């Protein structure tokens, strides 16, 4: 069903896995986005990427993020380490979701509330040290377990929203807004082909969605055809929608509460948001 005439349509372009370790690839994608006029952009920053690159002690990285903020981009907390080192999976499905589809990067899929709270607090502290405002949280691989959800609910930092693969949770009441979401898994011919099928499905869903999310990852630059497809997709989206950050969109929706519908709370494992062959990355 098409959107009502005059309804606002937005596109939120997000760059995931932003850290000192991925900055060269991120710069390449940001140059493309700037060339296309896709600003403002949501930058998903990982505090201590794979335990190797801590942004709080990298002055060049902090300066680069400050420059992006000056352009109007939003910085979002994207996990802490971006690695799933929690307890072993207890079912075949959970093992496939956490260890195969997401390459063991779904950091907040199986943490208990105490561990999740500690990692959230660490990320919040680093943002504060850099004097960066913080409204949103995106769990790596879009996997949000019960412990992480409890930690976010109890967090002393007032997060405004959490995004998962299929939409946005508006905090503090966890009201859910479904969105369309485009992403690539570029590491093999098969995964790229499946990604294109998933993108086609999401574009069909987007016809009736006020918000389209475009989720890029540093590894996308490894394949020139993936980058070319992103240029095509983003140009098409910008022709029909206005670019917004996730935070801007959430603030707008909050002023129009009728657009939000209550949604069932996720099951305890809450890993269904990445059950897709194309959800390897986030």
Query: How deeply is 48 buried, as exposed, middle or buried, from its count of CB atoms within 10 A (0-12, 13-18, 19+)?
Result: buried
Comparing C-alpha atoms, which of 7, 35, 4, 8 is closest to residue 242? 8
Comparing C-alpha atoms, which of 169, 197, 170 is closest to residue 183? 197
In whole angstroms, what separates CA 41 from the centre of its chain? Answer: 12
Cα–Cα distance for residue pair 135/129, rounded to 1 Å: 15
Instruction: Please give the structure tokens belonging to residue 247.
Output: 């935070």
| 10-residue averages of pLDDT along the chain (282 residues) | 56 97 97 98 94 82 97 97 68 52 71 95 96 97 93 97 96 96 90 93 96 97 96 97 97 76 43 35 42
Local structure of residue 81 (DSSP, 8 states): S
Instruction: Please give the structure tokens belonging to residue 212.
Output: 């389209």
Predicted structure pTM score: 0.86
Cα–Cα distance for residue pair 161/243, rounded to 1 Å: 18
What pLDDT does residue 90 have?
56
**Cβ–Cβ < 8 Å for 55, 18:** no
Q: Quickly list H helices, 130-171.
A: 146-154
Instruction: Go through the domains of the chain in sequence order and give each one's CATH number.
Output: 10-274 (3.20.20.370)
Length of the chain: 282
Cα–Cα distance for residue pair 177/167, rounded to 1 Å: 6
């Amino acid at each position: 069903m098409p959107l009502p005439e005059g309804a606002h349509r937005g596109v939120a372009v997000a760059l995931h896995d932003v850290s000192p370790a991925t900055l060269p690839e991120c710069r390449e994608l940001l140059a493309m986005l700037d060339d296309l006029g896709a600003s403002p952009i949501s930058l998903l920053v990982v505090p201590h990427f794979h335990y190797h690159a801590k942004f709080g002690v990298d002055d060049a990285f902090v300066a680069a993020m400050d420059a992006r903020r000056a352009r109007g981009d939003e910085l979002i907390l994207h996990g802490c380490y971006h690695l799933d080192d929690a307890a072993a999976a207890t079912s075949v499905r959970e093992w496939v979701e956490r260890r195969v589809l997401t390459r063991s990067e779904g950091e907040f899929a199986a943490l208990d509330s105490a561990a999740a709270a500690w990692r959230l607090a660490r990320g919040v502290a680093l943002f504060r040290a850099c004097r960066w405002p913080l409204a949103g949280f995106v769990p790596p691989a879009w996997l949000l377990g019960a412990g992480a959800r409890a930690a976010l609910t109890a967090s002393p930092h007032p997060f405004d929203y959490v995004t998962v693969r299929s939409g946005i949770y508006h905090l503090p009441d966890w009201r859910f807004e479904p969105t369309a979401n485009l992403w690539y898994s570029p590491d093999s011919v098969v995964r790229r082909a499946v990604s294109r099928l998933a993108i086609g499905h999401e574009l069909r869903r987007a016809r009736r969605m006020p918000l389209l999310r475009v989720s890029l990852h540093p590894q996308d630059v490894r394949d020139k055809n993936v980058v070319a497809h992103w240029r095509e997709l983003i140009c098409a989206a910008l022709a029909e929608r206005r670019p917004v950050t996730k935070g801007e969109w959430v603030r707008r929706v909050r002023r129009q509460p009728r657009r939000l519908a209550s949604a069932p709370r996720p099951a305890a494992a809450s890993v269904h948001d990445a059950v897709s062959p194309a959800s390897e990355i986030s």
